[in-house]
Amino acid sequence: MAHLDPSLFPLYYPEWQAQYEAALFETDRDKLLKCVAAAELVILNRLQVLVAEVGHEPEQVAMSEALRALRFLKGSPAQ
């Protein structure tokens, strides 16, 4: 499998996006659950930071979608 150049895909939300992407691309089921938990934690921490701030609606939508995808990954059967 060819490795993708990460510079081709900029991180718009570096506070949490790298952890999220690591979970998305993890293929080992045991590691996947740990990556998902780590990604959920950084996303939830970032949400707490943004609660008192305005102007972050696009990031909040992205985090909501990311959390939905992570829930799906947790529920996916082992392959």
Average pLDDT, the chain: 87
d(CA 68, CA 38): 15
What is the phi/psi pair of residue 27, to 5°? -105, -20
**Percent of the chain's residues with pLDDT above 70:** 84
Each residue of 24-51: pLDDT tens digit?
A: 999 998 899 999 999 999 999 999 999 8
d(CA 10, CA 36): 21
- Is-contact 34 74, C-beta < 8 A? no
Contacts of 77 (CB under 8 A, 6+ apart): none
Spell out the alpha helix ranges (H) of 12-56: 17-25, 29-50
